Amino acid sequence: MALFSKENRQAFTNPLNLDNPIAVQVLGICSALAVTSQLKPAIVMGLSVTVITAFSNVIISLIRKTIPNRIRIIIQLVVVAALVTIVSNILKAYVYDVSVQLSVYVGLIITNCILMGRLEAFAMQNGPWPSFLDGVGNGLGYAIVLIVVGFVRELLGFGTIFGFQVVPDSWLMDNGGLYLHNGMMTMPAMALILVACFIWAHRAYNKDIE
Amino acid sequence: MFLRKFLDKIKPSFQEDGKLHAFRSVFDGFETFMFVPNETAKARGAHIHDAIDSKRIMSFVVIALIPCLLFGMYNVGYQHYLAIGETPEFWASFLYGLAAVLPKVVVSYAVGLGIEFTVAQWKKEEIQEGFLVSGMLIPLIVPINCPLWMIAVATAFAVIFAKEVFGGTGMNIFNVALVTRAFLFFSYPSTMSGDKVWVNGDYMECINGVSGQAVDAVSAATPLGQLAAGDAVQASFCDTVTGLIPGSIGETSVIAIALGALLLLCSGVASWKTMLSVFVGGALTAFLFKDQVTANFEWYEHLTVGGFCFGAVFMATDPVTSPRTEGAKYVYGFLIGVVAIVIRMLNPGYPEGMMLAILLMNVFAPLFDYCVVQSNINKRAKRAAKK
């Protein structure tokens, strides 16, 4: 099979749009609500999930023929847990403040439905290279939604983007202006509504999904 | 009649191939608002046909809200003059309040109806009239200093996410006006916290020139705010009944609310069962917790302060979000009363619990209905089995 055959390209591009893990399969919602109150943790989380999905897909795909069928979930979990521990430690070492913000949600990537879903549905049946592309595609598809939601929430909830102030202080009510940051944007409830809006817009654009 | 003739004259341009066809739903909405509709539901099936259009029911509720609105306007001015240290005169107070409240009413209606009209036109449906009441309720349950853009944002949010996505009027799970308030409450807690309601600001000066003295937004604590802070409540029981206290625009006066309640009950628009059981539930809970309250605040005063009366009369009885079955209405109302007082007494974060109590019970209303219907089915099945 060619390196970038049609199937391989589809394994990568489908999860970005028509088979998006959050917008279409509605998986991994929990972490999408928890970590998106600001843009920076959202991006770090998206990248972590991408890396872990990609490499766990590769590893499982390599050993898929030797995994006994009855204990495959446990083996998948061990692989994912090992990768999550590595990523978690790397985050602690290099971006400590973000890893504090993400707190338990890095560890909870183990239970992310996207991972188990891809391992079961794709890596168990396909070779390492398509599995890698599929993992990267799904991770990035997840990251796109996180970034969109994180962008809106940080802008409206804190008036900043990447921590840089966008809404000037003089607009605020305390300084005689008329503007106030929307406190609800910093709560997970609003993230759920934003994800719903994303899905709404996505389906309005791609009419052939269901 | 002049209006009828005028409408008949312009009607053709809104028909299928008329040039103003795009505004058909708007025209339709206004025509049926002014006059009894020409078409009625087809005489088919087992539906009960009633002469009363849902627009008429809505109109009754709006009429019932007028005493609250007028009193709210007066009270806004009254509190303003009190705060700047002048004696409040009746007409000056009223005009001041009118100038402060009217923009809020206009904004709430403009945003809400604008969205409703657009959606109706888009989905090629008739304009639903549900927003007539919500649009009047929204300005009455916000504090006077709440900026207009916040009301606009919150109204748009509530109409889209609490109503249109569920299918429009009659399909909503939550009371639209309360979702508006909840949005404001959680999004902008500093203007909506309820522990301090600002009574005036000198921005009013340019509007009507009544204010001679520049006062930068004096804040006056509401009775519930003082209660939550553990201070003695300044307002006497008499004040809380007449309503000359700081608070959200329409909720302070028990007398004005009672007038509205009377109209709603006499015309049969609101259910007395819900209304009564809210008060019973509230009174019982307040009585149980009476030892927790600070000095000179009797348990029965809970029923007159804050949004309790307003919520019980105008919000809890909303026919869309309250249960349909008669038995369930008692349970629904009772639990609203209980939860509202429990939130007030036990949760220091929320001085007022009425909004959250009603929204919470909105969620459970279908469940209560289900239980009542199911128990009825079981009863009949048992009766049939006995024979």
β-pairing verdict for B197-198 and B219-220: antiparallel
Would you state the pLDDT for residue B230?
Answer: 55
A71 has a pLDDT exceeding 50: yes
Cβ atoms < 10 Å from Cβ of B242: 16
Q: Does B356 touch chain A (CB under 8 A)?
A: no
A45 has a pLDDT exceeding 70: yes
Would you state the pLDDT for residue B43?
Answer: 58
pLDDT band at B38 (very low <50, low <70, confident <90, very high): low
Residue extents of the structural domains in chain B: 54-377
**Can you read off the two tokens belonging to residue A34?**
């928890």
**Residue, of B229 and A129, whose pLDDT is higher:** A129
Q: Do residues B254 and B304 lie in contact, with contact meaning Cβ atoms separated by under 8 Å?
A: yes
**Residue, of A175 and B166, whose pLDDT is higher:** B166
Would you state the pLDDT for residue A174?
Answer: 66
Would you state the pLDDT for residue B210?
Answer: 37
Domain contains A15: no
The two counts, helices (H) then strands (E), for chain A are 9, 2
Q: Do residues B73 and B101 lie in contact, with contact meaning Cβ atoms separated by under 8 Å?
A: yes
B371 has a pLDDT exceeding 90: yes
**Choice among B21-25, B44-48, B102-106 with the minimum mean pLDDT:** B44-48
What is the distance in angstroms between the Cα of B149 and the nearest Cα belonging to chain A? 9
Best A173, A175, A178, A180 residue to mutate vs chain B (most B CBs within 10 Å): A180
Domain contains A54: yes
pLDDT band at B36 (very low <50, low <70, confident <90, very high): low
Task: Determine, for residues B150 and A180 on separate chains, whether the beta-carbon distance falls below 8 Å.
Answer: yes
Total domains in chain A come to 1
Would you state the pLDDT for residue A50?
Answer: 93
B232 has a pLDDT exceeding 60: no
d(CA A112, CA A35): 13
B251 has a pLDDT exceeding 60: yes
Would you state the pLDDT for residue B20?
Answer: 63
**Domain extent for A136:** 24-203
Out of B149, B161, B187, closest to residue A178 by CB? B149
Would you state the pLDDT for residue B239?
Answer: 72
B375 has a pLDDT exceeding 90: yes
Cα distances (Å, whole numbers) of residue B266 to B64, B88, B130, B275: 11, 35, 21, 13
What is the distance in angstroms between the Cα of A150 and the nearest Cα belonging to chain B? 17
Query: If you compute the radius of gyration of chain A from its CA atoms, what whole number of angstroms results?
Result: 19
pLDDT band at A210 (very low <50, low <70, confident <90, very high): low
Query: If you compute the radius of gyration of chain B from its CA atoms, what whole number of angstroms results?
Result: 23
**Residue, of B300 and A86, whose pLDDT is higher:** A86
Task: Determine, for residues B187 and A183 on separate chains, whether the beta-carbon distance falls below 8 Å.
Answer: yes
Out of B147, B161, B187, closest to residue A182 by CB? B187
Would you state the pLDDT for residue B368?
Answer: 93
Which residues of A touch chain B, with CB atoms under 8 Å apart? Answer: 173, 178, 180, 182-185, 187, 189, 193
- Averaged pLDDT, B331-342: 91
Q: How many CB pairs under 8 A join A and B?
A: 21
**Complex ipTM:** 0.81
DSSP assignment of B191-222 equals: HH-SS-EE---GGGHHHHS---S-----EE--
Would you state the pLDDT for residue A140?
Answer: 93
d(CA A208, CA B28): 34
**Residue, of B188 and A89, whose pLDDT is higher:** A89
What is the distance in angstroms between the Cα of A148 and the nearest Cα belonging to chain B? 19
pLDDT band at A10 (very low <50, low <70, confident <90, very high): confident
- Averaged pLDDT, B316-326: 87
**Residue, of B241 and B386, whose pLDDT is higher:** B386
B41 has a pLDDT exceeding 60: no
Cβ atoms < 10 Å from Cβ of B90: 10
Question: Any idea which architecture B54-377 has in CATH?
Answer: Orthogonal Bundle (1.10)
- For residue A91, the Cα-to-chain-centroid distance in whole angstroms is 16
**Residue, of A131 and B293, whose pLDDT is higher:** A131
